[in-house]
Structure 1
Amino acid sequence: MPEWGLLLLLLAAIAIGYALGRIDRERKRRKQAENLSQEYFVGLNFLLNDQPDEAIETFIRALDITSDSAETFETRITLGRLYGRRGETERAIQVHQGLLAKPSLSYQQSLRVQLELARDYLSAGLLDRAEALLRDISKAENNIRFDALALLLDIYQQEKEWQRAIDVARRLLGKGEAYYRNRMAHFYCELAQQSLDRREYHDARDKLREALDTDRDSVRASLLMGGMEYDQANYRAANKSLQRIAQQDPEFVSESIPLLVKVDRKLGRFQSINGYLTRCLKEHPSTAVMLALAEGIHRSQGNDRAGRFIINQLVRRPSLKGLYGLIDLHLEQLEGSSRENLSLLANLVARVIASKPVYRCGQCGFSGKELHWQCPSCKEWGTVKPIRGIEGQ
């Protein structure tokens, strides 16, 4: 055979060998990807059935199939989250740090891993490390920065760095203006409360005005402003702030009534708030408003008229607090055994009232006897309100 024929045959053999090798490698790669995909979906099924232990074992098997496949990125992210969910924060950090060290990560993938690592640090209480990562991610020119800013906001709330929280919330306004304006107003109120505690009234007033400029429906700012003006003997200004609450959120009118009555007495004209209270009772009835009106009637027209007023209101809107107010009113007129019997009933009603929560979170259902502007359970702001109905307002 001529030499050129042998050369051609040799080249053909090399080409066929290369092609066969490539086909074999492609077949193995497809088989590998198929196995990885199967393990991945098995793991997801375990997650959906709330079986995190089995899910973790499945994802680890998936990672053992290959360490170079692009599909392993999502698997490692999920595995780290599972460790975090189980409270194994150190292992979650190891998974995400190991993934972050891979030079093959794209810019977007790197940002995602850094975000997961920041979450791990938060769970571990390493706030400084989490903050440093999140501040870098928040500079990114894509939507992942909003996730970073939301986590930064959580950190600043935990650390009570209210001015920083305001700055971050302002950058989040585009993701929910009403939601973040409400939060910013509460942060300004936190700063105002700090100033009030230091008796820095001028600074407190500025912060409360900022709160109302940010969220005109900030009940908390109006209550704080009313209290501050009362302490400063600015009774007309206090009256104006407290009556503004009926337009901001009528459910909180009951919180303003005790101070509003004190303000009106300082002004020496109790009848002046009758019109306001009457409108509130008609438009947004509550036991606190009804009892305040009954007190005015008692002062000006006597026990009988006040008693009849309370009875008429209880027929329309029965409440334990209203019943207690009626009993207390009648106790003044009785003596001897009748007074003792009615006093016993009053004590029983008072004990029932004392056993009931006064406030409830509309977000998670948390209830208690103290008004929390930030729910201790779900951490939302402004969701805890007075309970209404027969056992509340």
Structure 2
Amino acid sequence: MTSGFIWVSTALLCGVLMGMYLAYMLRNVATQKKLEQLNHRYFKGLNYLLNDESDKAIDVFIQLAETSHATFEPQLALGNLYRKKGEVDKAIKLHQALIAQAQLPERYRTRALLAIGKDYMSAGLLDRAEVLFAELVEIEAHTPEALKWLMDIYQQEQDWQQAIKTASRFQAATGRSMRTNIAHYHCELADAARLNNDEAEALKHLTAALRVEEQSVRAHLSIGLIEQANNRHQTAIASFQQAIVADKSFVPIVLEPLVKSYQAIDAPGDLIHYLNDLNNHYDGISPVLALTRLTEQQTGSAAARDLLRRHLTENPSFKGLAMLLSLEGTDEDHRKSADETILKKLISRLLAKQPRLRCRKCGFGAQSVHWQCPSCKNWGVVKPIDDVV
């Protein structure tokens, strides 16, 4: 079914509904003549629309919108269809004409304001949309939806303070938890502070994030990185471990800085103990790969190969196989066969083509960390794929 067919079918439906509505109204003899004129003009506009004379159609519909709110519902719907079809300028004109009606009931005016706000969003006119949505919130009309759109605007503008306030109001108005969003907004402010070399301000926002959402993996990870950069490795280790407790799916991301801090304080025994314990409670390959690297450093590649082989026998993994093939070539007395070389290259290419992270909501694939999914715009849903990262 083509978009054109959907557009025409929906327009026809609007016409049928409008005709039924006007037929009902025509029972009132006192308004019969006026409504007959409206009926004639409406179907004249519909005829233009069906003949792809969109400019003529919009002129007729705007005239209708300016003269009577009897056609408000189909006019509002038609404007929304223009917006969805990508003809935002026509949607704006039609919805503005609705608001321009004299003595338009307030319940209609606020719905038209909401529609124009959405039109402006589609056109990228965020400042104009913000004014309309803020007005709706102020007069307590369509508050939840207006607040949701305001959050979208502040996220796009990276106005995180306003995003926090708006999300808090949305949470209060709807009872829907916005803790995850608010925690990420605080983390965004922390990232901005770190770029300005203001670690105290960054830590303040990260602490605020944890007050909102105690299990914020992003906040724990960010605190760990700040502590690590200042050579406070014990504190960094504690924060990294808290990040893993908060969300084990981020083990592949957190392990690298965690291992770095353990090595900085020269505590290989503690690290091995932690990795073994983590491996017992985590299904992914990352802890085993870290243990394999440590084993290679401490006792050589033969022991590392044995450790990795034992794991891969029960838990096959492309990433693990790639490391095993690399280890096979580390002994001086070991010659890699041509087949092993080909297999290693094949696996490397296969892994390189795979996304390292994937959105758990919409399936978006990514090569780097995205705290907000670029596709569905949800926060904290893009997570590592352990056999790839």
TM-score range with shorter-chain normalisation?
0.7 to 0.9
Q: Secondary structure at the match of 2:138?
A: coil
* Counterparts of 1:150 and 1:23, CA distance in 2: 42
CA contact (8 A) 2:83 2:119 kept: yes
Shift of 1:246: 2.3
For the pair 1:296 / 2:294, whether they are aligned, the reply is yes
Distance 1:24 1:140, change over 3 A: closer
Select the structure of larger CA radius of gyration: 1
Give the counterpart letter for 2:310 in structure 1.
N
Distance 1:368 1:260, change over 3 A: same
Shift of 1:152: 0.8
Which residue pairs with 1:11 in the alignment?
A: none
Distance 1:29 1:241, change over 3 A: farther
CA contact (8 A) 2:133 2:150 kept: yes
CA contact (8 A) 2:66 2:101 kept: no
* Counterparts of 1:112 and 1:164, CA distance in 2: 24
Give the counterpart letter for 2:388 in structure 1.
G
Counterparts of 1:225-240 in structure 2, within 5 Å, are: 225-240=223-238
CA contact (8 A) 1:359 1:387 kept: yes
Give the counterpart letter for 1:325 in structure 2.
M
* Counterparts of 1:209 and 1:157, CA distance in 2: 21
Which deviates the most, 57-66 or 305-314? 57-66
For the pair 1:150 / 2:148, whether they are aligned, the reply is yes
Shift of 1:132: 1.1
CA contact (8 A) 1:324 1:350 kept: yes
CA contact (8 A) 2:58 2:90 kept: no
Q: Deviations over 1:207-261 (max 9, x none)?
A: 1111111111211111111111110111011101100122211101111011111
Q: Secondary structure at the match of 2:383?
A: strand
Distance 1:374 1:177, change over 3 A: farther
CA contact (8 A) 2:65 2:75 kept: no
* Counterparts of 1:160 and 1:63, CA distance in 2: 36
Q: Secondary structure at the match of 1:208?
A: helix
Q: Secondary structure at the match of 1:202?
A: helix
* Counterparts of 2:186 and 2:336, CA distance in 1: 53
Which residue pairs with 2:371 in the alignment?
A: 373
Q: Which runs of 5+ in 1 are unaligned?
A: 1-21, 44-50
Give the counterpart letter for 2:300 in structure 1.
G
Count of matched residue positions in the alignment of Structure 1 and Structure 2: 357
Q: Deviations over 1:30-79 (max 9, x none)?
A: 9969x89x98xxx9xxxxxxx9x899999999999998665521111101
Shift of 1:199: 1.1
Of 266, 269, 278, which aligns to 1:268? 266
Which residue pairs with 2:5 in the alignment?
A: none
Which residue pairs with 2:95 in the alignment?
A: 96
Shift of 1:274: 2.4
* Counterparts of 1:125 and 1:24, CA distance in 2: 44
Give the counterpart letter for 1:230 in structure 2.
Q
Distance 1:82 1:335, change over 3 A: same
Which residue pairs with 2:388 in the alignment?
A: 392
Shift of 1:305: 2.9
Which deviates the most, 295-304 or 129-138? 295-304
* Counterparts of 1:174 and 1:56, CA distance in 2: 44
Which residue pairs with 2:207 in the alignment?
A: 209
Counterparts of 1:70-89 in structure 2, within 5 Å, are: 71-89=70-88
Shift of 1:331: 1.3
CA contact (8 A) 1:374 1:380 kept: yes
Which residue pairs with 1:360 in the alignment?
A: 358
Q: Secondary structure at the match of 1:338?
A: coil
Shift of 1:102: 1.3
* Counterparts of 1:316 and 1:213, CA distance in 2: 41
Q: Deviations over 1:73-100 (max 9, x none)?
A: 1111101101111111111111111101
Shift of 1:206: 0.6
CA contact (8 A) 1:77 1:96 kept: yes
Shift of 1:105: 2.1
Which residue pairs with 2:245 in the alignment?
A: 247
Q: Secondary structure at the match of 2:372?
A: coil
Shift of 1:301: 3.9
**TM-score, scaled relative to structure 2:** 0.82
Distance 1:327 1:177, change over 3 A: farther
Q: State the Cα RMSD in Å.
A: 3.2
Shift of 1:155: 0.8
Q: Secondary structure at the match of 1:244?
A: helix
Which residue pairs with 2:29 in the alignment?
A: 25
Distance 1:312 1:29, change over 3 A: farther
Which residue pairs with 1:110 in the alignment?
A: 109
CA contact (8 A) 2:360 2:383 kept: yes
Give the counterpart letter for 2:216 in structure 1.
S
* Counterparts of 2:327 and 2:228, CA distance in 1: 29
CA contact (8 A) 1:239 1:264 kept: yes
For the pair 1:130 / 2:134, whether they are aligned, the reply is no
* Counterparts of 1:88 and 1:202, CA distance in 2: 48
Shift of 1:128: 1.4
Distance 1:318 1:58, change over 3 A: farther
Distance 1:177 1:387, change over 3 A: farther
Distance 1:278 1:176, change over 3 A: farther
Which deviates the most, 198-207 or 345-354? 345-354
Shift of 1:196: 0.8
Distance 1:351 1:178, change over 3 A: farther
**TM-score, scaled relative to structure 1:** 0.81
CA contact (8 A) 2:236 2:261 kept: yes
Q: Secondary structure at the match of 1:375?
A: coil
CA contact (8 A) 2:218 2:243 kept: no
